[in-house]
Amino acid sequence: MNKIKTKFSIKDLENLSGVKAHTIRIWEKRYMLLEPNRSDTNIRNYNLESLQKLLNITYLNNNGIKISKIAKLNAEDILEKVKEIALIQKTEDNVINDLKISMLNFDQVLFNNTYNDQLALKPFNTLFYSIFIPLFNDIGLLWQTNTIMPAHENFISTLIKQKVLINIEKLGTIEPDNDTKTFVLFLPENEIHDIGLLFVNYELKRRGFHTIYLGASVPIDNLSNLKTLFKDITFITYFTVEPDNKEIYSYINDFNEKITNNKGVSLSILGYKTHIIDKEKLPENISKFNSIEHLLESI
């Protein structure tokens, strides 16, 4: 349990809640909503209970309840009010906050309960778009600002990956409806961030396409033989941390020379590093996409 983060700076609270540090201080001073601890050098720090309370206060405030009114509620009343609104509105913000708490506290039970509650309300693909993608965006910010440790990201990513795999498995016995096009999903060498690619695999299978999932760190040379097995083949990959920024166009040109120089063979690129790529510099059969939805719309 010593890995659990139990102390948070006011900057951590700002990053996790979206409420500016200046506003948090005002809420403390004017409304006594939070009671920070102070270090020997008089620096504020907050415990996990304070973080949870702030997330709940923010949720109520974002749903139209004035801070002055929230300040009159005790901790139990705040929690009950959050549950009351959540039951009526089913808003995603509160769900994402629960998942953040499960991540910070390494609480798998909270994660699974939150996930199962949402899955009872919406299909898995809708849940992924509305909950998991915004959560990953928030995690990226928390990572950049040192609010979370690698262990936190690994914990929540592993749980989400498990859910994607379970839903892919449910589609495993369904014969593809469209056998004229094949999608081969892979990641470049030394690239291991595969949740997005797995979800693309799920979405393509759900639409009845034939997919071949090769996974992480696949050398370009290993893909050549696939061209001899299928007439119409689209390779799909993610550029998250690899290739290196300076090597992206070299990688693309190498891929085009060895793989996509044949008619009926193309490459679709997703991921964080697509913003580096100028689409005007891409070979004819290679495209970049800013989102999974953008990719699926093009198919």
Residues 22 and 50 in one domain: yes
Asked if 15 contacts 142 with a C-beta cutoff of 8 angstroms, the reply is: yes
Q: 83: which 2 tokens?
A: 């549950």
Residues 276 and 165 in one domain: no
- Answer whether residue 94 is part of any domain: no
- Answer whether residue 116 is part of any domain: yes
Query: Considering the entire predicted model, what is its pTM?
Result: 0.74
Residues 200 and 218 in one domain: yes
Domain of 74: which CATH number?
Answer: 1.10.1660.10
Domain boundary among 149, 170, 191: 170
- Answer whether residue 95 is part of any domain: no
Domain boundary among 170, 200, 225: 170
- Answer whether residue 192 is part of any domain: yes
Output the tens digit of pLDDT for each of the chain's 299 residues: 344 567 888 888 888 888 999 999 999 999 998 888 887 787 888 987 888 788 889 888 888 899 999 999 988 888 788 777 766 655 677 788 889 888 888 899 999 999 999 999 899 999 999 999 999 888 876 765 667 788 888 999 999 999 999 999 999 777 777 667 899 999 999 998 899 999 999 999 999 999 999 999 999 999 988 988 888 899 999 998 899 989 999 999 999 999 988 778 999 999 989 989 998 999 989 999 999 999 999 98
Residues 82 and 17 in one domain: yes
Domain boundary among 170, 190, 219: 170
**Domain housing 121:** 102-170
- Answer whether residue 39 is part of any domain: yes
Residues 106 and 216 in one domain: no
CA-to-CA dists, residue 3 to 9, 104, 254, 299, angstroms: 17, 10, 44, 44
Residues 108 and 29 in one domain: no
Structurally, the chain folds into a number of domains equal to: 3
- Answer whether residue 2 is part of any domain: yes
Domain of 213: which CATH number?
Answer: 3.40.50.280
Nearest to 189 by CA among 223, 161, 212, 155: 223
Could you give the CA distance from residue 34 to residue 233 in angstroms, rounded to a whole number?
A: 57
- Answer whether residue 245 is part of any domain: yes
- Answer whether residue 156 is part of any domain: yes
